[in-house]
Structure 1
Amino acid sequence: MYKFSYYTEQDTEKVIAFMKENAFALITGTGEKYPVATQIPLEIKIKEGKIFLEGHLMRKTDHHLAFEKNNNVLVLFTGPHCFVSASWYTNPGVGSTWNYLTVHAKGKISFTDEEGTLKAVKAVSDKYEGTTSEGAFDNLPKEYIDHMVKAIVGFSIEVETLDNVFKLSQNRDVDSQKNIIEQLKKRGDDNSVMIAEEMERRLN
């Protein structure tokens, strides 16, 4: 991990908030020949001061089988990112760079029973579909749910280490940072604007 103290967010609450805002995360583990990975929407929960990542996945996929054999996993939460030109620095005689925000969570994955799987599916459905729409989990036919729960499995990952890189040109002087913010806003795409706004919050 590209990690320097000045790029590290020290406020754990801000890190957890970032994870919740970017909860479609990449879970990776060790396969037979190559690493395995899957992207899954996660619920981030705090229990007795510990962080747990909860969700569900399809049974008997390469990643499910790999996670059963080796339960050590790495979960990547990625956020906005953008190119930053060195021409925007007060001293442009250095290389250009890329600003970005990411969190790496390492821990052990454990799989739930059928009841836990149903709870995991309902939690995600209620969060994104809501509880009153026609597609709400509680409105699904029992036959469909009974069939579905045989094909998927819920899981929980207890986070053991949490690292982050909030790379926002903190190693540049204030005038350079202000100009980077201005230039990113001029560029106007969503990623650039979000990075600019995050930089701006840290200068105020």
Structure 2
Amino acid sequence: MRHNPSFALDDPAEIRRLVRENPWATLISHTSAGELVASHYPVVLDEDSDGIVLLSHVGRPDEQLHELGRHELLVLIQGPHGYISPGWYDASPAVPTWNFITAHLYGIPELLNATDNLAVLDRLVDHFEDRMPVPRRLNDTADNAVYAARISAGTVGFRLRVTRVVAKSKLSQNKPAETVTRILAELEGSGPYASPGLAAEMRRVHRQADQSGDRP
């Protein structure tokens, strides 16, 4: 990902927030056979650890395809993103662009034993079920607990301590305030490229810039 200091996302707290709010991740490995392998799984943060530590699992035999634990794994986290029309700039000449927030997280995964893997699966379920009006837990009944323990054998859990981060928050930080206002109006409107989630990310980063006095 091309580095641009204007859009660099360096705050670990913001990267952790990005993971919490966008837990569907892409896992990418460059294997010893010279192949690129990609899979898609939910991840959660290990909130009890310092730094950025991810917890997840893969279904068998993905752990073999990725050679999990033998080399660095790249985890892609993608937040809200969307098309930005040059018609929203009120400027000429102008070209379209794409606003986005994303993080590339690197580390060597530590494979978990069966007990710890089941605990990670339990945490994943709780992370998503907590929002439900009547949450269903992995171990909320004896039958569920037995079933979960049985099917967990088809998965391999891992803990990944992130040792390298490349993250970018490209949200019109290089545009004047009046242009940002027009873009926000379109994203929060009813047009074909409306995106309330992207607008919320833009408002967050521009509010922080206003508070710090760091405006173009």
Q: State whether TM-score is above 0.5.
A: yes
More strand by share: 1
What residue is the counterpart of 1:42 in the other structure? 43
What residue is the counterpart of 2:148 in the other structure? 145
**Percent of aligned pairs sharing the same letter:** 24
Distance 1:80 1:48, change over 3 A: closer
Q: Describe the SS at the equivalent of 1:120.
A: helix
What residue is the counterpart of 1:96 in the other structure? 96
Post-superposition CA distance 1:164-183 (Å, at most 9, x none): 11111111122211111112
Per-residue deviation, 1:89: 1.6
What residue is the counterpart of 1:58 in the other structure? 59
The answer as to 2:203 corresponding to 1:200 is yes
Q: CA RMSD in A?
A: 2.6
Per-residue deviation, 1:198: 2.4
Query: Is the Cα contact below 8 Å between 2:82 and 2:193 reproduced in 1?
Result: no
What residue is the counterpart of 2:212 in the other structure? none
Distance 1:188 1:126, change over 3 A: same
Post-superposition CA distance 1:10-54 (Å, at most 9, x none): 332122111111011111112435311111111112555322101
Query: Is the Cα contact below 8 Å between 2:69 and 2:108 reproduced in 1?
Result: no
CA distance in 2 between counterparts of 1:68 and 1:10 reads 27
CA distance in 2 between counterparts of 1:202 and 1:181 reads 12
CA distance in 2 between counterparts of 1:18 and 1:174 reads 24
Gaps of 5+ in 1: none
Which TM-score applies when normalising by structure 2?
Answer: 0.82
What residue is the counterpart of 1:16 in the other structure? 16
Which TM-score applies when normalising by structure 1?
Answer: 0.86
Q: Describe the SS at the equivalent of 2:108.
A: strand
Q: Describe the SS at the equivalent of 1:106.
A: strand
Query: Is the Cα contact below 8 Å between 2:59 and 2:156 reproduced in 1?
Result: yes
Distance 1:117 1:197, change over 3 A: closer
Distance 1:151 1:79, change over 3 A: same
Query: Is the Cα contact below 8 Å between 2:86 and 2:96 reproduced in 1?
Result: yes
Counting matched residue pairs gives 203
Query: Is the Cα contact below 8 Å between 1:23 and 1:43 reproduced in 2?
Result: yes
Distance 1:97 1:157, change over 3 A: same
Distance 1:113 1:22, change over 3 A: same
Post-superposition CA distance 1:137-162 (Å, at most 9, x none): 11253542343232111111110012
Post-superposition CA distance 1:52-100 (Å, at most 9, x none): 1011111223x54323373311001111111111122242312110111
Name the aligned partner's letter for residue 100 of structure 2.
Y
